[in-house]
């Protein structure tokens, strides 16, 4: 079970429409439960995002760092880390 910071949960709640057409959570508790079910990951760098998605079978070799950061599954958190959520 990944531990999600308060800031991470709040950011996901505020930006979940980046990946989903309608809200999947309305409270931080619901967000944490949803992210746990999705096995969402928090990583420290775009290199780790690239590695994670590549290992998951996504073809990310030709994506620039900017394109990778703009992917719907990647949430750029205010602290500089990244939340990866596979919808």
Per-residue pLDDT reduced to its tens digit, 21-74: 999 999 999 999 999 999 999 999 999 999 999 999 999 989 999 999 999 999
Q: In Å, how far are 24, 33, 62, 81 from 70, measured between CA atoms?
A: 20, 24, 14, 14
**pLDDT at 1 > cutoff 80:** no
d(CA 36, CA 30): 10
pTM value surpassing 0.85: yes
One DSSP character per residue, 37-62 reads HHT-EEESSHHHHHHHHHHTT---TT
> pLDDT class for 87, splitting at 50, 70, 90?
low
pLDDT score of 25: 98
Residue 80 CA to its chain's centroid (Å): 12
């Amino acid at each position: 079970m990944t531990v999600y910071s308060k800031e991470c949960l709040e950011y996901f709640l505020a930006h979940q429409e980046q990946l989903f057409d309608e809200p999947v959570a309305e409270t931080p508790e619901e967000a944490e439960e949803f992210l746990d079910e999705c096995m969402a990951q928090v990583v420290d760098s775009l290199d780790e995002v690239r590695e994670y998605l590549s290992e998951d079978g996504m073809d990310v070799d030709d994506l620039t760092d900017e394109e990778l950061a703009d992917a719907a599954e990647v949430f750029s958190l205010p602290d500089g880390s990244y939340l990866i959520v596979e919808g």
